[in-house]
Structures are given as structure tokens and as C-alpha cells.
A and B are shown apart, each in its own frame.
Chain A
Amino acid sequence: MSGSGRWRRVAGAGIAGLVIAAALAACSSSGSSASSSASGGKSLAGQTITVWAANDPFMTPLAPLVKKFEAQTGATVHFNILGNETAYYAKLQLGLASHSGPDIWFGPTPLIGQYASLGAVPLKSFLSNSQQTPASWDYSDFPQNVTAQCGLNGNTYCLPVESDTTMLYYNKAQFKAAGISGPPQSINELVADAAKLNTPQHAGFCMRATVDQSNYFTGQMMLLYFLNYNSGNQGTFLDPNWKPQLTTPQAISFANTFKKLEVQYGPKGISGYGYQECETDLNQGKVSMFWETDAFASAVNNPAISNQANNIGYAVIPCPPSSAGHCTMGSPWGIYLNKTSKVQPAAWQLMQFLTSQSSEKAVVATGQATVALRKSVSSTAFTGSNPLLPQAMGTAISYGLAHLDPHPFPPLPNLIQLLTPFGQALSDIISGQASVNGAMNQANNQATQVLQKAGELH
């Protein structure tokens, strides 16, 4: 074999490879235009992007979509699912603090203060760069009150990927059997309905009760229906001057209502219940109402998981006058970019891909209703043509998103330490370890100490 012949064969192979690569790039769909932007083709070949996510129903469907991004751009993506949320938070925090974390990660927006402190990159420069962010990706397609949850101190730190707003799941068949025409329209009706629905066959109401499953989160959701809303509030139960409001008459009224609902109308052993236990009971017809976030909408509607799938209704109790139209609480999950990432432009392309209209549609089509954030997606997802996405589900989610408290969580790095005493108070109340006034008083004092130590309260 002559030397020149050998080199002709090498060149031929290289040209063939380029042709194949170009053909693959040309086959990419228009919805993913963000991933093959101005540079076109395998623009990210040789780059590796690491993504961390939790084992949540809305994140796991994104993993197969990533293959498409890889094919289009030539990048290699390591999409790592690191266990359930509780385990994930600790691993993520340690990874970021030790500067060994991922290029991009999924995280709840209430922890934005922590993430900003641990190296989340402000995204304004990416969003305003037309070369890195084509107009077709359309950031304005996201509702403003959702993108606001990704904001901190005038900057944007994440792209929203999933809503997580207030939702009341209820068993329509059990409501009908009890002679109740529809879901409750006020907290008083909620209590009255729970009393009627509480029978030997099923409990009337269920809500998270344990601290380890973040009962403070759903507790705050209900608390919003009692407190007087103020646009200057630093958090759900923090007034504009950072003072905790857990001993006000409204907060005490909430705690008494919560106790009544859980202890009198909740399932047996409620003090040991988290969201998993409540969801299981709803799915088995053992509880009539489940106060939670909309993250469970697809699971309770799935006949493979729930034997009550055809009976589940979706509702949000309308906002009372005291809430001034801000009675729902959301903590959308977002995707964040790590300042230590060596492939930030490539990672930014992946972030756009994962939050693009086509990716959202693909995930929503699998029944993950809470991913329908873009107006262009949510307006068409709940027509009823997909049995996994009934119209009532879309109506409830829309109401929740439209009535969000815009500042439910203060942007403190130690947010969990602030909220935990509230959760412990709720747990103590329903397990009988403390009176309502005693528990709320102790929670108020502990929250005050945390804020004083953080320098926010003097």
C-alpha cells in the first residue's frame, strides 16, 4: 500500500464523518433551534456537561430528551439523578460548597438565597445576549410571576422548569356520596366538608404532618389563607420588618384549624404522615381530601398508581379578602448554572434546550402537568384530549399560578433553619406534645433568634 493511497483513505474517512455529522444536524427539529444556534451543527462537540437532578417525576423524563441534545450538538451530557429530594439537597449543597458540583443543577426557588451564595450564576448577561439566546426561544413565554421566583436582588438566577403551587385533591365520588356538590370554596367550608367526609371507611382530610417531609411548606400554604397579606412582607409569616407573625390571632386561628383538620378528620396515625402516606391514602380511597402541591397531579391521575384515578378532582380554594389575591404559594423548581463550570456557554445552551417549548411539550405529554409553564404550552395542554391532563387540572394549576404570593420565602442561606421551628410546632400540636399557643410561641421565638443571628432582625 503506497503512502499517498493511505492518506487519501484517511481524508476520505474524515470527509465522510463531516457529512454524517452535518446530516444529523440538519435533521434536528425547529423547536430545538436554541441548541443549534448561530454556530449550527455539532457546535459543542468535545464538551461535557454535568447535570444534577433529584428523582422527581418531572425531572426524570428530561433524561431521555438529553440524548436529542447530544445528537444535535455533539456535546456529552451526564444527567445524574441523585436520589429523592431529601438526599439530593444534602448532596447538592456539599457538592457546591466544595466546588465539585455540576455544571447545571435543578433546585427549588425557595433555596435561591443559598444557591446564590454557593455559586449560582446571574443569568441576565446570557438572557440579554442575542447570540447566546435566540429570540425564538422566547423568555417572555414564561409567566412573569413564575420567573419572578427565580429573581433575587434584581438578578435572575434560574430558568423555571416546574411549578409547585397549592392544590387540593379531592375524591369526587366520596363527595357525591356525602351529598357535597363540589370542592370547598373557603376554609370554613373545607372544615365542614372534612367533618362530613370523615367516616369509618375514609378520613376527611390529609396534609403533611412530619418535619422531615417539610410540613412547614404545606403549612405555610394554608397559613396564607389566614394572615393579612402585605406586599412588603419578607416572607409568608414575616412582616416587612422581618418580624415573625406566628403568635398573631390569625396564625393561632390557622394552627387551631390545622389541628382540627388533622387530628379530628385526618387518618389514624396522622402525626407520622408525610406526603407519601397522604398520597397513598388518597390513591387507595382512604382519604377524601389531600392538601398539597400540584406536583402530585400526574401521580394521582395515573391508573397504574392510583385505584381512584378516575375519581380525583383538582381545586384551589379561592383567595379570601385578607390575602388580596395572593393566597397560593409556589416554589417552582429552576435550573441553575454553576460559576465553577468550565463550559458555561454550552451549559447555557442545554438549559435553554431543557426549558424550550418543544421540551416542555414533550414532558407535559407524558402527564407531567406541572411542567406546563410556558403560556404557549399551558394554553393547549389541558384541552381534555389527553386523559392524563384533564381540563380541571389545568384550571386549578392556572389559578394557583395566577394568585401566587410573590415573596413567600426570604432569600436567606439558612432558610431551612428559619422554617424548621414552624414545622416542629405543627408536629408538636398534632402529636399532642404542645398546646397551640405554646408551640406557636416557641416557633416564633426560635424564628426570631434565627433572624437576629442572621442580622435581619434587631
Chain B
Amino acid sequence: MVTSVHPGRAPNPPAAEEQGQASRHRRQRSNRFFVASAMPAVVVVAAIILVPLIVSVGLSFTGYNIDIPDKLPFVGLENYRELVSDPQIPGVLLQTLEYVLGAVVAEIVVGVAIAVLLASRFPGIRPLRVIYMLPLMVSWVPVAITWRALLDPQSGWVAATLTATGLPTPASWLGDPHLAMVTLIATDMWVGVPFIAILSLTAILSLPLEPEEAAMVDGASRFQIFRHVTLPGIKPVLVIAVVFRMVDTFRQFALMDLMTGGGPGTRTTVLNYYTYLTTFQYGQVGYGAALAVAMVIIMIIAVTLVFVFGRRR
């Protein structure tokens, strides 16, 4: 119903005005109810997220050492100066970039490819979709422990299988500085690829069929259909998936701790693991907090960049 005030035309009748006001009041009540209902959850989440963040930022300005727990000396920006001058930091940051970029790119490429396959319709595809999602249900600790055992050069199944098939076997997947990071990325993919695949599959299955059918009628190849129809259609979901995986890989700890210990040497020491070593192994909680704050800032920048570039056509 269009309402307007026009010269010469009578204003809205009083009953319609009252109806509009009542509607606005109902909406306001509904909003207040919604806010009131959500407030407890918001308070809890804010407490869980904001309080540790604020405490971490505060600790980053102190020289708190876990082995001298009753002293909390204020050191100002000293921890941040140490962060800038720490000779380990450039290597740690480079390795973090290597791990995050390598894992996310590989997972997106392989995940989307698998999603396209899983989106096909052939007998047995439904159980296959479920089976493929099983790695998502396993937490990182058993993943790390299991893969470390599988990759053992003396008694692991991977070495035994490669040897039995006559394929070359590296002396050590996790002890070789040229292979350790690649191996961790591959292990990350074991969980990351199904995650990307399920999100992409959901997006693909929810795309309308008409554009694809129209493209087929126009003679487009399967690859052209994928590139010009499917991919742009699922791009918003892919952007979200990239953000999730990027944050997860930044925060990865179990694989480094249980598979390589950050080694060989410091070859797989990424920022999150270095923060853990500094805080809990060396006891430097203040410096560790500064590293954690730096990590949060880097993640915020990275996520923002993904959203900015992701929105571009």
C-alpha cells in the first residue's frame, strides 16, 4: 500500500496512522525482547573473549615471569622492543606465512575439486559424502599422534607401503628440514580439505540450475561452466571458508607440538608455537603476551585483506 501526502489530497485517515504506530511499537518491543534474550549470551561470550584479551594486552606491558609468580613489574614497551629485535622472529614469521599460505591454498584447491566431484550424482555418492567428512570429527591431538606414528621411518605404514611398492622413501618426513613443513601442511589438509569440501559442496548444491543449463546450451565446456558459473556462485562461501581456515592454521599448535616439537632445529616453529615456548617453557609470560597480541593484530590484518579482496568482482 503506498501512502503519500499530495496537495489537494486528504491526509491518511487516523485509523491507518494508528496502525502504523502500533506496528512500529510491535517492532520495537520485538527488538527489545530480542536484545534482552541475547544479552546473557553476549555477556558470557564477551567475558570469555574480551577479558582474556584485555588481560593479555595488560600482561604484554609487564615483565611477568611464571617462575617468579608474586612479582608483576611494569616494563612499558620493552616487550614490544624485544619482539622487534628478537633474532628468531623473522624466521618464525616466515615459517608462519609458509604454513598458513601453503595449507590454505592447498586446502581450497583440493577441497573445491573434491566438492565438485561430490556434487555429482551417481549411485553411492551420498554415503561417500558422509565418509569423506569423518576426519572433521577427529580432534587435532589424535590426528597428530596417529600421523606421527604412520610417518615413522622405521615402523610406520607410510614408509612400509612406499618400500613395498618400490617407491622412494625419505629418510625422515619429520626430521628432514626440507620435508617437515610440507608434511605438517599435508597433515593439516587431512582435516582442512573435508572442511572446505563440505562448505563448497553445500554452496554448489544450493546454486540454481538455470545458469548452468543455459551455459551448456550455449556450448560451454565443463571447465568453462565451473570457472564462469560455479566458481563465482560459490565465491562468497569460499571467502568465509578461507577466513576460517586461515584463523585455524594461524592457531595450529597440536601438529607442531606433537609431531615435530617445532623442529628439526626451529624449522617448523611458527608464531603460535613460539608464543607457547616463550610463555610456558621459558616462563616469560610478559613477552609471550606481547607475541600473542602481535599474532592477533596480524590475523586481523590478514582477515581484513581476505574480505577486501574477496569482495572484488
Contacts and interface: CB of A to CB of B under 8 A. Distances in A.
Nearest to B280: A90
Interface stretch (A130-138, A272-280, A322-330): A272-280
B248 interface: no
B171 interface: yes
A210 B284 contact: no
Q: Which of B154, B265, B282 has the most chain A CB atoms closer than 10 A to its own CB?
A: B265
B262 interface: yes
B64 to A, nearest CB: 10
B95 interface: no
A211 B268 CA distance: 12
Interface string A82-116: 00000000100110111100000000000000100
B12 interface: no
A268 B154 contact: yes
Contacts, number: 111
Q: How large is the interface on B (under 10, 10 to 19, 20 to 34, 35 or more residues)?
A: 20 to 34
Given A269-B153, A414-B67, A427 B283 contact: no
Contacts of B264: 209-210, 271-272, 427-428, 431, 433
Contact of B283 (A213, A286, A413): A413
Interface of B is mostly: loop
Interface of A is mostly: helix
A416 interface: yes
Interface stretch (B46-54, B174-182, B205-213, B219-227): B174-182
Given A93-B67, A268-B154, A414 B262 contact: no
Contacts of A94: 66, 280
Given A93-B283, A97-B67, A431-B177, A267 B265 contact: no
B102 interface: no
Contacts of B280: 90, 93-94
Interface string A115-154: 0011000000000000000000000000000000000000
Contacts of B282: 414, 416-417, 420
Nearest to B282: A417
A98 B154 CA distance: 42
A286 B67 CA distance: 41
A434 B264 CA distance: 11
B154 A432 contact: no
Given A280-B154, A416-B282, A431-B264, A93 B175 contact: no
B176 A271 contact: yes
Contacts of B265: 211, 424, 427-428, 431, 433-434
A272 B155 CA distance: 13
B262 A212 contact: yes
A164 interface: no
Given A268-B154, A428-B264, A431-B176, 7 more contacts: A97-B66, A97-B67, A268-B171, A269-B170, A280-B155, A413-B68, A424-B265
Interface of A: 90, 93-94, 96-99, 114, 117-118, 209-213, 267-273, 277, 280-281, 286, 413-414, 416-417, 420, 424, 427-428, 431-434
Interface of B: 65-69, 152-155, 170-177, 257, 260-267, 277, 280-284
22 contacts: A90-B281, A93-B283, A97-B69, A114-B283, A209-B264, A210-B263, A268-B171, A269-B175, A270-B172, A271-B172, A277-B154, A413-B68, A414-B283, A414-B284, A417-B281, A420-B281, A424-B263, A424-B265, A428-B264, A431-B177, A431-B265, A432-B177
